[in-house]
Chain A
Amino acid sequence: MGRTERNIAAIDALYRQHGAALLLFASAISRDRGRAQDAVHQVFLKAIENGSVSRAINKKAYLFACVRNAVHNEAKIQDRTMPLGVETPWFSPPDRDYTGERNLRRALGQLPNDQREVIVLHVWGELTFSEIGALLGLSSNTAASRYRYALAKLRGSMLAKENSCANAR
């Protein structure tokens, strides 16, 4: 197997392993599923081209940073006031709980960008607070406290939505 083939195989494995979390992260910060998909593809295509991922020590954190940069670079060109596109599903719900999936999406959409970012990075990206801190230019303590605050808000928002649905029935 040649060097290029090995590189493609390694990138492909990373894409299969982290692609879903990266897409969710890109969706959460770009406010648009299509742009998120483009950003993720762009990052992986560049990685195949220049082999930069293979040189990264923490490949997962590096990929999240690349996706974040790609989304922000794209956002500079595009309209930044675009509303969060939460109508396309972001998750495959457990036990066909489509209402729960929609509630989660909407609750995430109600969070401020910086809090949503931390939630996605920690829960689905499985990054540690020090990795998140390095990625966002924060201390790990700040990242952790932002996460706890966001988590409490998300829970409150989801519970309120579930209760209102139960009352409506």
Chain B
Amino acid sequence: MQTPDDEQFEAHLKRFDPIAPDPLPTRNLARRSLRPPSLVTWLAAVAAVLVIGSTILHIRSGRTFISDTSSNAALADRPVPSEPLTVRSANAWLTTAPSFETALDDLAFRSQISPLPQGKQSAVAVLGKESFNL
């Protein structure tokens, strides 16, 4: 059993506050580790938007370029291979094309030229109608 003297002495001892320890070393680390994800996320989002934007711009400018080339006019005059594309037909197309670039363009857009069965739509044609706001 504690005597009043003990309690008084205990109260006297309690007046001495133990010194607080140094801050936890993880405190800064934890805060730092909480920040980067948001910063990284933002940077990643901005980078993704830039990449998508530049890709779309690149594709659009490429289309314009193709439509502006004289080879496009030549394409209308030249017979387009209507049978399914094979290595043989591609080789033949390459040999008759005025340039390698024109040949590739022609082959790339041949699906638009080839008639589709009734009631079906070309995915490329549908996407081509879409308007992208940049």
Residues of chain A whose beta carbon lies under 8 Å from any beta carbon of chain B: 5, 8, 11-12, 15-16, 19-24, 37, 40-41, 44-45, 48, 89-94, 100-101, 104, 123-124, 148, 151-152, 154-155
Contacts and interface: CB of A to CB of B under 8 A. Distances in A.
B4 interface: no
Contacts of B17: 20, 91-92, 94
Nearest to B1: A148
Interface string B30-65: 100010000000000000000000000000000000
A92 B34 CA distance: 34
Interface string B1-16: 0100110011001111
Contact of B2 (A41, A89, A148): A148
A90 B21 CA distance: 10
Interface residues of B, number: 21
B61 to A, nearest CB: 44
B27 interface: yes
Contact of B9 (A12, A19, A101, A155): A155
A151 to B, nearest CB: 6
A151 B25 contact: no
Main secondary structure, interface of A, reads helix
Nearest to A104: B16
Contacts of A12: 24, 27
B70 interface: no
A93 B16 contact: yes
16 contacts: A5-B34, A8-B26, A12-B24, A15-B24, A20-B19, A21-B18, A23-B20, A23-B21, A24-B19, A37-B22, A44-B26, A90-B18, A91-B16, A91-B19, A104-B13, A151-B6
A21 B21 CA distance: 9
A94 B15 contact: yes
Given A20-B21, A151-B10, A155-B9, A45 B16 contact: no
Contact of A23 (B16, B19, B34): B19
A44 B29 CA distance: 14
A45 B26 contact: yes
B15 A89 contact: no
Given A5-B34, A41-B24, 5 more contacts: A12-B27, A22-B21, A41-B22, A94-B15, A154-B13
Given A41-B21, A45-B25, A151-B10, A101 B2 contact: no
A19 B21 CA distance: 6
